[in-house]
Amino acid sequence: AQKVTQAQTEISVVEKEDVTLDCVYETRDTTYYLFWYKQPPSGELVFLIRRNSFDEQNEISGRYSWNFQKSTSSFNFTITASQVVDSAVYFCALSEAGDYKLSFGAGTTVTVRA
């Protein structure tokens, strides 16, 4: 069963627009971790954030912000004032307690046009 769903396959925006990436997860564990990774065209995975299931505080890091809502099992990611360098594939991932394995969503390709 799909544990992480990223319904948006591709998003295209013009520079300076905001873009929100959706992530919905599924788990029976009460303790788990959620992640966002960026994969630019060069292929490496860039770690963006990790959030544990007991910390529902939203987080902001520069132009990035994350909204974690356990009630809807969502962990959405917003890029504010997007830039061309933000163009990449973004993956949401889940790690369940005691497992340490990551289950990745299908990824959302973000294209930011100048």
Residues that bind other proteins (CB under 8 A): 33, 35, 37, 42-45, 47, 50, 91, 98, 100-107, 109
Tally Cβ neighbours within 10 Å of residue 52. Answer: 13
- Cβ proximity to other proteins: between 79 and 92 the closer is 92
The minimum distance between CB 14 and other proteins, in angstroms, equals 23
CA-closest candidate to residue 24, choices 2, 41, 40: 2
With tokens 């009460």, the residue in question is 30
The minimum distance between CB 6 and other proteins, in angstroms, equals 9
The minimum distance between CB 16 and other proteins, in angstroms, equals 27
